[in-house]
Amino acid sequence: MKKGADLPDDHHVMRYVPWSKLLKDEDENVIGFLAQAFALRPNEESLSVNWLEYFGGDRKANIRDSVLEFRRTLTSIGRKSAFGIANVKKIRDTCSATAGVKVRVVYEPSRKNPAHSCIRRLPLDDLTLLDALAADAFSELVRNSDVKSIS
């Protein structure tokens, strides 16, 4: 796939979510993601994700390989952190239905991370949309501690 191309509807992306942006109960049991996990920083134009199908394996292998790629490329990844997985079409539909925003989910590989992709045209600070992404689009959660490194 060429850089800048839209990812196929039936493919999936994975986002890293640090501990401070996980939805927890008062006893720190992880329930899901906070809306703030999908907020852009002021200096960001798009939301970084990994394209799962880039890795070419079955679903379980793709998840493992993507997590390993995150560990390899990010500065630090906490043991208690997690990863959110979303279907590409679900992301687009959620943004359209919730906020009337037509986002693009685009392949944007970097030299460090060939699976890197991004969600473009997200509003900077629409809490309703972010909550919908957190609860409805990124509906699968994988704990970092559950993915073993390859030794």
Partner 1 sequence: MSDKRNPVPAPGKEITSGGGFNFRLPWVPPYAKARTIGEHVLLTLPASSTPYQSLFKSTMTDDALTVSAWSASNSSVFSDDTKLIERRIGELRNPASPASLFASANNSLEERLFDATASVKILTAQVAMHLDREWRNKLFAQLDSLHDLEEWDPDDEPIQAGSFATFLKAMVQIKPQRRPGLGLSHSGYLVAAWTSGKNRLTIEFLQNDRVRWVLARYTDDDVERFAGQTSVSRLIDGLAPYAPDAWFSK
What SS3 state is found at 127?
helix
Q: Please, which residue, 18 or 109, has the CB nearer to partner 1?
A: 18
Q: Please, which residue, 10 or 26, has the CB nearer to partner 1?
A: 26
Q: Which of residues 45-74 bind partner 1 (CB under 8 A)?
A: none
118: its two tokens:
């991004």
Q: For partner 1, which residue of 1, 68, 136, 142 counts as binding (CB under 8 A)?
A: 136
Q: Please, which residue, 76 or 149, has the CB nearer to partner 1?
A: 76
Residue 91 sits at the vertex; the CA angle it makes with 85 and 96, to the nearest 5 degrees, is 165
Question: To the nearest whole angstrom, how small is the minimum distance from the Cβ of residue 39 to partner 1?
Answer: 6
Question: To the nearest whole angstrom, how small is the minimum distance from the Cβ of residue 147 to partner 1?
Answer: 16
